[in-house]
A and B are shown apart, each in its own frame.
Chain A
Amino acid sequence: MSNKVSIVLFSGTVDKLMAAAILATGAAAMGKDVSIFLTMWGVMAFRKGDWKTNIRISKDFEDQAPAMLRSMSEKKVPGWLENFKSAQEIGNVKIVACGMTMDLFELKLEDLEPVVTDVDGVASFWNQVEDGTALFL
């Protein structure tokens, strides 16, 4: 069985960023090599400091956004970026940004949070997935 988990993170909404971060943390805890490929809104959410003002949630549940964000703040649920940092602290979690999105929005690696360590192409990403699991969020 492959010991690799890859996540394509297309969305930049807080609910999906949370889900991706928690899934990545659990996989890292269980000793899996985790690779996260940020593309489109996933890249935008990782722009330096963007997390401070990002209160977007999935369109189909937007009526729940105020309740979710209030509950997260009241219960002091760690933010998604903090969860990604913990994941990297305990295991092998690589976060890379899609080169095409970077070009599209004229971003450089240094414009992104330091948890993102590289810019990668889509073929190279799939090449490293090999026979592991790949998820799209």
Chain B
Amino acid sequence: MTRWAMVADLERCVGCQTCTAACRHANATSPAVQWRKVLDIEAGAYPNVSRIFVPVGCQHCADPPCMHVCPTTATRQRADGIVTVDYDLCIGCAYCEIACPYQARFLVHKPHFAFDAEMQNEAERADPARFGVAQKCTFCSDRVDFGLANDLTPGIDPRATPACVNSCIADALHFGDVDDPDSNVSRLLCEQRSFRMHAELETDPGFHYLYGNANGEEQESVRPAADSAMAGGQIRTRGVEPSLQKHWDWKAASNFMCGGAGSGLFIFTALTSLWYGDLVPFGWAALGIVALGLSILMLKIGRPLRFIYVLLQPQRSWMTREAWIAAAWFPLAALALWSKWPALLIAAAGFAVLFLCSQAMILQAAKGIPAWRIAWAVPLIVVTGLAEGSGLFLAATAPFAALQPLAKTVAVIAVILTMLRGGIWRSYLAALKTRGAPTGALAVLYGYRPWFFAIGLALPLVLIVAGFAVATAAAPLFAIAGLCITAAGVAFKFILVTRAAFNQGFALVHTPVRGSGYAGPAVKPGWSLS
């Protein structure tokens, strides 16, 4: 087998960005679209300071999260390990960009130029297929393929070697087949110590970092006093520490806000319809809310006319599964609401649960976002969806006296769900803290915590208890409680998607030796735990 991989020697790299510029040239990327770039990281506290230059880009993971989440099969993996993007299939949903823990993917919606006007070289190399779709480093696969077709060895012959490697003036970048024990990169990995970034995420990245001679002493320098400095935030980490993802904004969040509350409402509506009269309008409203979320999402994607391609990857992508579930659920739900057949209502409620679960799984599958990917995120999203549904149901039933007995039952369920949600929320936050998370994400979530408990738990509980105590005011009290439960859940998802969605950032397992001395300790800025 062959597995193409990149090896970056941190002892050699000087951070000159020649590879960055060469990549921009070779691949004719738009300004600021840097498939390859070099980070400039400082660690330690004066005067014991390290400064490290770290080439980054697509790591061509063996188990690439971007591919797993891609709903269209646009992102694929070649037999030689190179992860590719088919611009003709990609719908520009940016899910892959969220899922990538290396910030390697870009989405450019329209042409933009170095200067105000398009230059001749930009016009000559313009590629309209790139707009509105995901793009990233290809390991210059065209050059690799050209080389293989012409008996050239990628990584050895420049014509078969990625442009960044060719251009590297420090000979810090190397490319080759890590499955070949005699290859250039295998030899380097054998002779020198190496690590892979974010290896703990188990994506098996194809990008190795050399940090010292294998024959050198395995000892760490005292030079970069990483922990103390990082704790105080006293290191220059712009562009290195986790940053808030920009790909999914309020439009993407709307899908989760509306999808959770809407599907929850539908579940309560469908199930209570088994015993109660005409609750059909609530069901239509629930579907409308979900449809609204999906429609707003359509505004977000880069290639909306290709939205149907979202159905192409049910075997892997939860986004595809969500689409298929929605595709089955909506007609089924419509039929159930129209026919009121109990079996159909139960089936439709079941699909609503699946839809809710698929939304939770969409977030959890995004490996690039620590606040989403932990297991507790799934029950939290599901339970808050159900709680929101119960809350909306309480609010919706308030005007109808005939439904008040039902409301009391639902209020009890709402209390149970809300308390369950509160418990899961605590476990979710505790898990984040225990396993480590971007400090930015924790700050946002902990900042929201009092509101979540006050509006989403304490106040509704008080109101519902009061409703039971003061029967004459039960309807409005339940309604307000329900709206509070819903608002807290919807706001939580808005915050989770648009405010707490800090990416993985960049991290080093070791700082490198520089000619003499020892490798330094790990650097992982912007994390609660390193």
A and B: real partners?
A: no
Q: Which residues of A contact B (CB under 8 A)?
A: none
Q: Which residues of B contact A (CB under 8 A)?
A: none
